[in-house]
Structure formats: C-alpha cells, structure tokens
Amino acid sequence: MKITMLGTGAALPDPDRGQSAILLTLDDDTHYLFDCGEGATRQMVRANVDPAKVGFVFLTHLHHDHICDYPYFVISSWMLNKTGAPLVLGPKGTRHFVDHLFENGAYHTDYQARSAYPVRQANLEAMRPEVREVSPGPVFDDGRVRISVDWVEHIPRDVCECFGVRVEAEGKVIAFSGDTAPCEAMVRLAQDADLLIHECTFPESFIAHRAKTGVGTYAHTSPTDLGIIASRAGVKSLVATHFGHFDSTSPVIKRAAAKHLPVELMGPHLMDEIVADIRKNYTGPLRLAHDLMRIDL
Ligand SMILES: [Zn+2]
C-alpha cells in the first residue's frame, strides 16, 4: 500500500502546505481518505488520483482544517462522474455537517442548477453520502481494511469528539492521531504500529511562548512528548505532521499571527529543533511530512 500526505499544515492559509488530509491507497488501487482539509481534492489530482475513485472518508474531528475541503471533494467527485454514494465516518455532528451542504443546504443553489443537467442526474447518489457517526472501538471492516478508533484529547468532548485511528490493511498497521494533546489512547492505538502519523503542531519554543503570553489555546503534542509516545508505543516508523505554520516564511502569516505566535522565531530552521526534540526519546525511523509526500508500506 501507499500513503500520500495530501495536506500537512494546520488551521491558517499556508502557501506551502495544505490542511490535514491523508490518502491510503491499497495495492488494488482502493482509496481511503482520512480528513479532508483545504486543498485535499486538488492534491489528489496532483497525486494522480481521481477524486471520483475515493469512496471512503473518515473525519477525525470537525475543526475546519480537517473538513473544509469536503464539500468541494463531493461536488468534484459528482462532476467527475463518481458512481455510488460516498461513505463518511466521523464523530457526532458529522451527519449535521454532511446533511446541510447540498440538497437544502449551503450549496443548494449549485446543486439545483447542476442537477438540472441530464448528465448530472445520472449519478445523483454521489451527492447523497452515507454517514456513520462512530464511537470508540472497531468502526469499519470491508474485508481489506479494518479500522478502530478511540477518543483523543483536543476539543472538549461535549463540543466535538476527536478521534485517533488505528488502521490494519495488507498485514500492516498504521495509526493516525488526528489532533491531540499527548494521551494514553494514542499510545494504545499506535501499539507496535508499522507507521505512526502523529500531529506535531508547534516546536517547544513556540509552546513556551504561548504558555508565557497566555495567548491562544493549546491542545496539541510537543515534539518531546511525541518522541515519548512513539517510543512507548514501540512504533516501527514515525511521520510528524500538522505543522502549525512555524516553518513558514510568508509575510502574510507572520503579520496575521503576531498576536498568538512568536513570529520573530518562525522559519524552516525550526524543523531541526523539532527533530532534535523528538530524538530525545525516539530513535527509530523519522520523517517530517510535506505535502504530497509518499510513504510505501
Ligand atoms: Zn487541526
């Protein structure tokens, strides 16, 4: 199988990174999408994947940087002649999000206009996803891919559940954190995984700045803690992702983020700090994700 990191950034518009989206592709070319942040659909096309061929979507939580490309993905799939309804798994609230987009939803006018064309009527089911709101435990098994999930710690659970994921396919195990502070659930989900893809939103120097200034909220995993998690779980390889723009050189981001980030510290050199801090506790194979990075397993 292969994994394509479609988007590796966080919540702000970033000229160098799309938002969270990971595509798992089996050897028989079946695709499974995990999160659908900004740019996910376009990145599929750049990775030579037809969005209409992606029939499975798992949303780890409902923050915009994990779901905002979803409407575009569904409409694009429809226009690219997708057949069948997409299957969408996610936390409580996923049904509300999905059901208020197209027919009688935010894109109702577009839907009404386009569905008048006979060619678009042929596959209206592509606009009517099947939604399953999931709970901790096994959530999916199609005979090729098995998925189990657990709650991770990112947003208060009464606002939105956030899930970490364990995927078993082709004899391999992949774990994905979604967004989370360090938590035991993620150590369990990643136990002995061949690959752990884990968020690593800010370097230690940013976290210290945010703690000192009291600006912004913090429910992410530091590189030092990520090394501990990877080591305790005994993962065979680690990919850090969901980078919170600290490596950006964009003047727009620097100006806009000055209130909640130490923008004078920003730059690509911070990736070295990330690696050094992960390495304090984890010595196995390590990669820092970038958009369209491909991982063969
Ligand atoms: Zn996020």
pLDDT, tens digit (0-9, with 9 covering 90-100), for 224-262: 999 999 999 999 999 999 999 999 999 999 998 887 788
Is residue 108 a known part of a binding site?
yes
pLDDT, average across residues 20-30: 98
How many Å lie between the centroid of ligand 1 and the Cα of residue 63? 6
**pLDDT greater than 70 at residue 197:** yes
Question: What confidence category does residue 203 fall into, taking pLDDT thresholds of 50, 70 and 90?
Answer: very high
Question: What confidence category does residue 66 fall into, taking pLDDT thresholds of 50, 70 and 90?
Answer: very high
* Closest among 41, 6, 38 to 21, alpha carbons compared: 6
Which CATH number fits the domain that encloses residue 47? 3.60.15.10
pLDDT, average across residues 165-186: 97
Domain count, the chain: 1
CB–CB of 62/93 below 8 Å? Answer: yes
**pLDDT greater than 70 at residue 181:** yes
**Which pLDDT value is given to residue 124?**
94
Is residue 66 a known part of a binding site?
yes
**Which pLDDT value is given to residue 215?**
63
Name the residues annotated as catalytic. 65
Is residue 209 a known part of a binding site?
no
How many Å lie between the centroid of ligand 1 and the Cα of residue 117? 37
SS (H, E, C) 132-171: EECCCEEEEECCCEEEEEEECECCCCCCCCCEEEEEEECC
φ and ψ at residue 112, rounded to 5 degrees: -60, -45
CA dihedral 23→105→110→76, nearest 10 degrees, is: 10
Is residue 65 a known part of a binding site?
yes
**Which pLDDT value is given to residue 217?**
61
pLDDT, tens digit (0-9, with 9 covering 90-100), for 115-171: 999 999 999 999 999 999 999 999 999 999 999 999 999 988 888 999 999 999 999
The DSSP 8-state label assigned to residue 250 in this structure reads -
**pLDDT greater than 90 at residue 90:** yes
How many Å lie between the centroid of ligand 1 and the Cα of residue 6? 14
What is the chain's mean pLDDT, rounded?
95
How many Å lie between the centroid of ligand 1 and the Cα of residue 123? 32
The proportion of the chain whose per-residue pLDDT surpasses 90, expressed as a percent, equals 89
pLDDT, average across residues 275-281: 98
Domain that holds residue 133: 2-296
pLDDT, tens digit (0-9, with 9 covering 90-100), for 99-119: 999 999 999 999 999 999 999
Q: How far apart are CA 126 and CA 225, in angstroms?
A: 41
**pLDDT greater than 90 at residue 216:** no
